A = this chain, B = another copy of it.
Amino acid sequence: MTSQEDLKCINTIRFLATDAIDKAKSGHPGAPLGAAPIAYTVWKYFLKHNPSNPAWFNRDRFVLSCGHASMLLYAILHLTGYDISLDDIKNFRQWDSKTPGHPEYGQTPGVEMTTGPLGAGFATAVGMAMAEKHLSAKFNINNYDIIDHHTYVLCSDGDLMEGISSEAASIAGHLGLGKLIYLYDDNNISIEGSTNLTFTEDIRKRFEAYNFQVIGPIDGNDVEEIKKSIEEAQRDTEHPSIIICKTTIGYGSPNKAGKASSHGEPLGIDETILTKKALGWETTDTFVVPEDVREAMDYRVRGEKSEKAWEMLRKIYNAEFPELSKELNRIMSNDIGDGYKAKLEALENKECATRDASGMAINAVADDIPMLMGGSADLSPSCKTNIKSASDFSKENPAGRNIHFGIREHAMGAIANGMALHGGIIPFVSTFMMFYDYMRASVRLSALMKQRVVYVYTHDSIGLGEDGPTHQPIEQLIGMRSVPNLTVIRPCDAAETISAWNYALNNTTGPTALVLSRQKLPPVEHDRKLDLVDKGAYIIKDCDGNPDALIIATGSEVSIALTAQNSLASEGIKARVISMPSWEIFEKQSDAYKEEILPSAIKNRVSIEAGSTIGWHKYVGDKGKSIGIDHFGASAPASVLYKEFGFTAEAVINAVKANL
């Protein structure tokens, strides 16, 4: 049953969507028409939120995993009272508007995350629910449910077909995320036609296998049924829920309902008029919001009340548990404090793999930065990401900080995004650098959403040795460097690694990727400071007088460069060695600083890095030479590979000499 009042609201949403899409001559009307009753029911009858403060910490989260249905969300945000005007709606998909083609985090109030790449929303929501579970375990005490919200997700066939959703669902079920509720817009249509063409699995059985509560199939057009199902989902607090909602794509459109053609193209004005008539809409005018609908859906007063009630609770909580309350304030403002710095500074710059140095850094700061939590895709013993003083995050112990993600890199990245977006957590996640390839789409979303996520990538080159070419990164480093907003740091020793962690913890412009060696690296003699990498490149060891040549190196190749420098010096050739742990940070420096490090007059330049040479030309210039590897690796001990593939002091020396 759907009441006339509800139906009128739903149709208002539907036609705001189709009108905006028609006006933009671009967009996806099928999902808004079909799934409007579902989203409406969540927002109208369940979602705890405050349109006047989209950042309210204890709000319910709503993720539109099928991001192409963006107009559905914008219409609801407009109607419930977010700062999105009817003009914004009319500006759908235009330059610099609040209503871009897909929901973009940071561009539109009320949009919890950027969606569009299918499955990403599904998986990111798991991170949000994990954050809620963790923080509530940490802060809720004596029935003060300070952190207490649901995470709702509207998702589509496409979301469920992508492998990332399987990874994420398996974790969500394993962790018993009872406050995570998926509403599956089951419309049987994908772009190529009926889902019978390719998607005939048993969704109920599949999600039961993941330890979900599965509800439905229900009629996705029936508000009462949706309400009952959401209540049922909420009642089961031990399992995440998925409600299978049978819908019709392009619902109401006489010529396109139930057809793939309604998915990704405007209905067109004529068909929209027919649709309005078919659904008994009172007018064929565009962008109509009936006054009673506006009143019924405006959530501002209720939203503010909701947040105020929570603030009251916070006050009493504050009086009773001042320490916890202080800590809560701190994590809500993402304040990492200063205490951790001394701990980092106290660490020794000893011979070790940079992955080990990273592990030391994590453990040094863990007590001072309690919001730091993370783990690995089943490689924490190798990636050294275990916090020794902390316990495992699990269903039974959600206050734990070490997360076992399983061998699920793609979902791991998305979950990290979800935790960062939720707030109160600075997530770090780790795997072998090669498996960045499995999670590129998630890392890109961290960067696009500018989230403070720390990616710990170890085993960063052929230095990994015997595991061979499938495990040896070649193009992954340049791959990371090419992602906008992603800061990549490849430290050369423990001191740089510690500094890199300091940078990452303070980097609020986007994610940071730490690129770390498997093999031991000698400690370079240099000034130990926390800001060692903060300019991206620096003279790690200069020559006496004006250099004849510049040798630029990163990570494990810095020590090779230093050896070459020594040999050259013994022959009277003066070479400066520059450690360049981060291109992105170096690029942000002043021209004067860049000139100081890399004087333009010196054309004899050599770079050495155990990765693709692509992009190095910029730093070595037309006369320079880059030592790198532009083919796949091989299986052999690392020392053999370094020699066979030409990563030697000799190679550097020869390159410098050839160019004198």
Contacts and interface: CB of A to CB of B under 8 A. Distances in A.
A167 interface: yes
A615 interface: yes
Nearest to A171: B198
Interface string A170-200: 1101100000000000000011110001111
Contacts of A612: 482
Contacts of A466: 24, 26-27, 93, 101
Contacts of A264: 382
Given A404-B192, A467-B116, A209 B200 contact: no
Contacts of A438: 117, 162, 410, 440-441
Contacts of A471: 101-102, 116
A104 B635 contact: yes
Contact of A635 (B93, B163, B409): B93
Contacts of A632: 447-448, 484-485
A209 B203 contact: yes
Given A162-B163, A166-B163, A617-B618, A634 B95 contact: yes
B411 A67 contact: no
A198 B435 contact: no
Given A382-B191, A407-B162, A467 B201 contact: no
Interface string A606-644: 000000101101100110000000111011110011001
A170 to B, nearest CB: 5
A484 B474 contact: yes
A191 B211 CA distance: 23
A449 to B, nearest CB: 10
A101 B162 contact: no
Interface in A376-427: 376, 378-382, 392, 394, 404-411
A583 to B, nearest CB: 9
Nearest to A478: B482
Contact of A376 (B97, B192, B208, B410): B192
A465 B162 contact: no
A148 interface: no
A197 B375 CA distance: 12
A379 B190 CA distance: 9
A126 to B, nearest CB: 13
A161 interface: yes
Contact of A167 (B117, B161, B260): B161
Interface residues of A, number: 111
| Central interface residue in A115, A465, A469, A640, by most chain B CB within 10 Å | A469
A437 interface: yes
A635 B101 contact: yes
A200 B478 CA distance: 37
Contact of A381 (B26, B192, B409, B468): B192
A470 interface: yes
Nearest to A477: B482
Interface string A430-443: 00001101101100
Nearest to A68: B467
A475 interface: yes
Nearest to A165: B163
A299 interface: no
Interface in A115-172: 115-118, 157-158, 161-167, 170-171
B117 A434 contact: yes
Interface in A470-517: 470-471, 474-475, 478-479, 481-485
A630 B484 contact: yes
A416 to B, nearest CB: 16
A657 interface: no
A375 to B, nearest CB: 8
B479 A392 contact: no
Contact of A408 (B95, B161, B434): B161
Interface string A363-382: 00000000000001011111
B104 A468 contact: yes
A659 interface: no
A444 interface: yes
A529 interface: no
Interface in A263-306: 264
A601 to B, nearest CB: 12
A93 B479 contact: no
5 contacts: A100-B468, A116-B467, A201-B211, A478-B482, A484-B630
Interface of A: 24, 26-27, 67-68, 93-97, 100-102, 104, 114-118, 157-158, 161-167, 170-171, 173-174, 190-193, 197-206, 208-211, 260, 264, 376, 378-382, 392, 394, 404-411, 434-435, 437-438, 440-441, 444-445, 447-448, 465-471, 474-475, 478-479, 481-485, 612, 614-615, 617-618, 621-622, 630-632, 634-637, 640-641, 644
